[in-house]
Amino acid sequence: MNRAVRVTGASRGIGRAVAAAFARSRDQVAVHGNRSVREAEQVAASET
């Protein structure tokens, strides 16, 4: 698919899994991690 999605809480747990699933489907994913900015950046980098 070719969707643009935003995943909040994407730095850990369920949010991280959801972001990864969208990325595997070749969707464009914007991640957000309020308390775990470094982890959210790692998720974004690993899913490109």
Boundaries of domain holding 21 = 4-46
**pLDDT tens, the chain, 48 aa long:** 689 999 988 888 998 899 889 988 999 999 887 777 788 788 778 765
Judge if pTM exceeds 0.85.
no
User: Phi and psi of 45, rounded to 5°?
Assistant: -70, -35
How many other C-beta atoms are found inside a 10 Å radius of the C-beta of residue 8? 14
Q: Give the contacts of 39 (CB within 8 A, at least 6 positions apart).
A: 11, 12, 16, 33
Total structural domains within the chain: 1
Give the chain's length.
48
